[in-house]
Structure 1
Amino acid sequence: MTELQELAQLKKAGEYSAVFSRLERAHIISYYSTLHDVLVHFAMLRWARCRHNDRELAGQVLRLIGPATKLAIGWVPAGNTGGTHFSPIKPMPDDLAAINAARR
């Protein structure tokens, strides 16, 4: 996943908001892989812990449960970025829809 590979460079540069934006894009791309979805949520949890963002940290703990259940029933909220500033079940505009369509 290119989005995740760029995280180390952004972290070294101290661009923490850019790191989370990259994680949100990685989340959208990871929808159809339970493993990748869990890895992205785990990375978001680590980001929240490092940034002392308790709301995001708690939200990511809950969102780590979601991938196994939502993929098992075939439900994916299109475009959802995975961050706690949006509902985990709300579909959102999806600028990465073409990438996901090719991965199905």
Structure 2
Amino acid sequence: MNSYTKNITPYVQEQLSKADQSDRLGNVADSFVYLENAHVLGQESTYWHVKVHYLMLRWAIKQRDMNEAIGQMIRIIGAVLFTAIKGVPTGNTGGSNVSLVKVMPIKPEHAEIIAKVKKQHNSTSEKD
């Protein structure tokens, strides 16, 4: 596990926990918003990028949303193939309601987390 993946993990897991809690309370729209947040935070990590798309796929199947499910299957393949070569559009929320290649603004609180994690990642990489 690279240092970016390791350092972003608690932030992604926090969003996934909120998604799970919202889902259990029947707030499925909120649940997907938290999955989108997790996607934005984790999309530079192949592990988290693929995992969040898988969780979005599960969400779509549970909602019987076949358009979203098909979109997520395509995105899982893209995440596997392109994340490691930096082929991901920054800020993209990951749902099939947005283009695969659309760059989107990042919420300030998420941008701050990503910058902090990248700084940690770069300082760790320099020590290696």
Distance 1:68 1:46 in 2: 17
Unmatched 5+ residue regions in structure 2? 1-12, 119-128
Unmatched 5+ residue regions in structure 1? none
Q: Which position in structure 1 is the counterpart of 2:34? A: 22
- Misfit runs of 4+, over 3 Å: none
Residues 32, 103 of structure 1: 8 Å contact kept:
no
Larger radius of gyration: 2
The alignment covers a number of residue pairs equal to: 104
Residues 49, 79 of structure 2: 8 Å contact kept:
yes
2:49 is the alignment partner of 1:37: yes
2:89 to 77, 86, 89: 77
* Structural RMSD (CA): 1.1
Q: Which amino acid aligns with 1:28?
A: V
1:69 match: secondary structure: helix
1:98 offset after TM fit, Å? 2.1
Residues 23, 40 of structure 1: 8 Å contact kept:
yes
Distance 1:32 1:20 in 2: 19
2:73 is the alignment partner of 1:61: yes
Q: Percent identity?
A: 38
Give the TM-score normalised by structure 2. 0.76
Q: Which amino acid aligns with 2:70?
A: A
Higher helix share: 2
Give the TM-score normalised by structure 1. 0.92
